[in-house]
Amino acid sequence: MLNLMWINGEFVESASTQRFEVINPATEEVITTVPRGNGEDVERAVAAANAAYLHWRKIGSLERKEMLHEVARKIRTRGEELAQLITSEGGKPVIENRDEVEWVASCFEYYAELGRDQIGRVVAPVFEHQMSLVVKEPFGVVAAIVPWNYPILLMAWKVAPALAAGNTVVLKPSELTPLCNLFFAEIFDHLPRGVVNIVCGFGKECGEPMVTSPGTHLVAFTGSVDTGRHLAVLAAQQLKKIHLELGGNDPFIVCDDIDVDTAVRAAAWTAFLNNGQVCTSAERFYVLEPIAKKFIEGMAEFSKSLRLGNPMGPDVDLGPLVSEAQRQKVEARIAQGVQQGAKIITGGKRPAQFDCGYFFEPTVLTQVDEGMEIMRSETFGPIAPIQVVKNIEEAIARANNSEYGLGASILTNYLEKAMLAAENIKAGTFWINDPLTDNDAAPFGGMRLSGHGRELGIEGLDDFREAKHILIDYKLERKSYWFPYRWEK
């Protein structure tokens, strides 16, 4: 197991000489300890990344493409090891982490190819014998800071396009899931030294210096709104570009023209996948009145049938939450909702059958409204609050009444209703009848408080490069518009 930081191609301890524990959320046991990185470590990593940039930005696109494909090959070769590691420190069922591993490999392949495609365009020249090239250049060193819920996927969505665009990287994983990111030292070890550096530690001590260091040129951050806002202010002091992928409070509309059993399965998956610890989890359900009773009963019954257990096991739908702090946050949010009038239909407590692990029952609530925090803010837990609405117009209005704008979903057999919702709800991704499915080639990101910038697709590559206009005049001659000016009537 890799439990050292990786700077300039070498495995190192922190200058702090301190370490912190990594906990298995299913057993509450300490898996290992890792270095507690600080500003001094970050500066070493930033220096290595700047040195590596001089070579990496100029490397030919075929050579770079081959190195990124090699990353994907190594990920697949070591996929099972990696999937189990993500499960052991994050608690997500291993069956889901096998998918995450595959998506990561696929993302590196996608950007390996996209990176050797166009790097700009040629625009119509304003004068004779000229050419205007628009060339997209890398920024330099990217500070990539990622959370714990999809720890290697969100790393790949940053590191793959950053490298394909010619940047070098300093990466910091979440303090809850450092191991699966540190594992990538062995996946990236064929890249020139310093092209990727991995430091680990806590936000304030290790993450902030990555943002404030004059040696980083772009910040790519995924995490909570509060941290994102704080980092945006720090980055603004240096007018440094920051790419923010933040939290959500996604609405999910269930129309009355659908098969209720299918709707229940789609809704339960979107609310409870990874215990609701998905940035695009459905956090608010708006169900049309004619089918509401049947839908609520179906959600209650189906939620009770979900199998909680050791996430390494084969027949497990839900593992533990990532940490005790996260579980307490969910409990507090539900208690507050109940105090404000929400009704728990099923779940709402720690399951009795476990004597350790941060497990929590999938929870369905009704009698909720937008006045409640549980409907207004991101909970990031296994909850499905359901509000009954009269018609599609009311559903759209309520869905759109939010400070967030990450994702939104609808289930309907009528394209007109689906498109009415898609056009009127502010969200970076809108899913019609297949919630949560992403596509490497299509952009992902948020509107409003959910952030700005996009990952994936050509948009996700362009966020890691900046445009330069190169004007070429291939005939050097005196221009009529140079000094001295002449006025002729």
Residue of the chain from 216, 227, 303, 412 that contacts ligand NAD (CB under 6 A): 227
Tell me 192's DSSP state: P
Radius of gyration of the chain measured on its C-alpha atoms: 25
Residue of the chain from 46, 152, 318, 406 that contacts ligand NAD (CB under 6 A): 406
Contact 424/396 with Cβ under 8 angstroms? yes
Contact 340/302 with Cβ under 8 angstroms? no
Q: Phi/psi of residue 236, each to 5°?
A: -65, -30
Residue of the chain from 91, 115, 248, 381 that contacts ligand NAD (CB under 6 A): 248
Residue 464 is a binding residue for ligand NAD (CB under 6 A): no
Per-residue contact flags (x/-) with ligand NAD for residues 325 to 364, judged by CB under 6 A: ----------------------------------------
Strands (E), 280-416: 282-288, 343-346, 363-366, 383-389, 404-405, 407-411
Name the minimum Å distance from CB 428 to ligand NAD.
8
Span interacting with ligand NAD, options 65-73, 110-118, 225-233, 353-361, rule CB under 6 A: 225-233
245 is catalytic: yes
HSE (side-chain half, CA atoms, 13 Å) at 111: 32
Distance CA 456, CA 280 (A): 15
Residue 56 is a binding residue for ligand NAD (CB under 6 A): no
Distance CA 222, CA 382 (A): 21
| Identity of residue 279 | C
Residue 208 is a binding residue for ligand NAD (CB under 6 A): yes
Name the minimum Å distance from CB 486 to ligand NAD.
59
Nearer Cβ to ligand NAD, position 147 or 348? 147
Please, which residues have CB within 8 angstroms of residue 88's CB and are 6 or more apart in sequence? 24, 26, 31, 179, 312
Nearer Cβ to ligand NAD, position 157 or 285? 157
Residue of the chain from 114, 196, 218, 231 that contacts ligand NAD (CB under 6 A): 231
Name the minimum Å distance from CB 37 to ligand NAD.
10
Output the CA torsion sign for 113, 116, 218, 44.
Answer: positive
137 is catalytic: no
Q: Where are the alpha helices (DSSP H) in 286-380?
A: 289-305, 324-339, 373-376
Span interacting with ligand NAD, options 44-52, 181-189, 217-225, 466-474, rule CB under 6 A: 217-225
Residue 100 is a binding residue for ligand NAD (CB under 6 A): no
Burial 291-308 (b: 16+ CB within 10 A, else e): bbeebbebbbebbeebeb
Span interacting with ligand NAD, options 42-50, 73-81, 223-231, 456-464, rule CB under 6 A: 223-231
Nearer Cβ to ligand NAD, position 147 or 319? 147
Strand partners for 137: 466
- Which one of 180, 200, 206, 279 is the catalytic residue? 279
Name the minimum Å distance from CB 429 to ligand NAD.
10
Span interacting with ligand NAD, options 76-84, 113-121, 221-229, 266-274, rule CB under 6 A: 221-229
- Which one of 89, 245, 283, 361 is the catalytic residue? 245
Residue 205 is a binding residue for ligand NAD (CB under 6 A): no
Provide the greatest CA pair distance for the chain.
95
Residue of the chain from 98, 230, 294, 452 that contacts ligand NAD (CB under 6 A): 230
Q: Give the other-Cβ count within 10 Å of 101's Cβ.
A: 23
Span interacting with ligand NAD, options 245-253, 254-262, 287-295, 348-356, rule CB under 6 A: 245-253
Contact 89/179 with Cβ under 8 angstroms? yes
DSSP string, 60-120: -HHHHHHHHHHHHHHHHHTHHHHHHHHHHHH---HHHHHHHHHHHHHHHHHHHHHTTS--E
Residue 3 is a binding residue for ligand NAD (CB under 6 A): no
Name the minimum Å distance from CB 485 to ligand NAD.
54
Q: Annotated catalytic sites, by residue?
A: 245, 279
Which residues form the interface with ligand NAD (CB under 6 A)? 145-149, 154, 172, 174-175, 202-204, 207-208, 222-224, 227, 230-231, 245-248, 279, 378, 380, 406, 446, 451
